[in-house]
Amino acid sequence: MSSFQGVCSAGLAPRNLTTATRVKSGGVGSGRGAFGIDSICPVANPDRASAPSASLSLGGADRRRVLSRRIRLLVTATISYNLVEAAVALTEGARVSSTALVGFGLDSLVEVSSAAAVAWQFTSPDPEAREKTALRIIALSFFGLALYVSVESVRSLLGYSEPRHSTIGIALAVVSLVVMPALSWAQRRAGKELGSLSAVADSKQTLLCAGLSAVLLAGLLLNSLVGWRWADPVAALVIAAFALREGRQAWRGRTCCATGGQVRALN
């Protein structure tokens, strides 16, 4: 399921959305393959009786407050973990000249900026009013990461630096493969029920971090065990490509949410 496609199944839409019939979806864990597909959300047939949304109809305002509070707690956990992750990855990456580790550390900082944007959004009595701004912050963070890591990866491939073995880096990648999917799943579930595009986008960014952990682990192991020095910068380039894709999705802010027979997309 894509960065924003998940809200479609929730049957919810923030108030600042307008009608559209086709969107493009993508991101780690998308429906076909690992990294996303295009999908078309069909417009509901007005002649058919549509099933009512069960997401918030029973809970009302109280349920929205519970979900908003849950998202804030998950955001806090994400920020805390990623601050530690960034410090370890950046320090170790600089020590062993690993572009992949440095890129991974920068991605952790992007996770922090993304989570902070969502936290800022949900401090407002009307979170939907800040939806588009939060998505823009997430997108710009991704673009900055993609640019920096791409430049450093090319420099490494040209021989300006040679990555060395890192036990700490390998251990960090393994831990992230466990922690990040759990945080992503919980926030995505709450975001879908609440109908928040930015919360769902942030959860997908967290899941992206788990995918990048696997890429990082592969690059570090190939470099350490097989001696393939190019594996580290290539892994970093994969990280940059993922970041660019997710940044584009967040910038477009597109999703499909069927509410009252309409298919909607964020302008």
Distance CA 178, CA 180 (A): 6
Exposure class string for 130-159: b at 16+ Cβ within 10 A, else e: bbbebbebbbbbbbbbbebbbebbeebbee
**Residue 236: CB partners within 8 Å, gap ≥ 6?**
99, 100, 102, 103, 149, 152, 153, 156, 219
Give tens-digit pLDDT for 13-46: 444 433 333 333 344 344 333 333 233 333 334 3
Helix (H, G, I), strand (E, B) or coil at 3: coil
pTM of the model: 0.59
Give tens-digit pLDDT for 53-65: 444 554 577 888 8
- The model's confidence at residue 267, banded by pLDDT at 50, 70 and 90, is very low
Give tens-digit pLDDT for 231-255: 998 988 988 888 888 788 888 875 3
Mean pLDDT of 97-125: 81
Residue 265, beta-bridge partner list:
18
- Which CATH number is 61-250's, of 2.30.30, 3.40.50, 1.20.1510, 1.10.10? 1.20.1510
CB atoms under 10 Å from CB of 187, counted, come to 28
Instruction: Kindly list the domain boundaries of the chain, sorted by start residue.
Output: 61-250
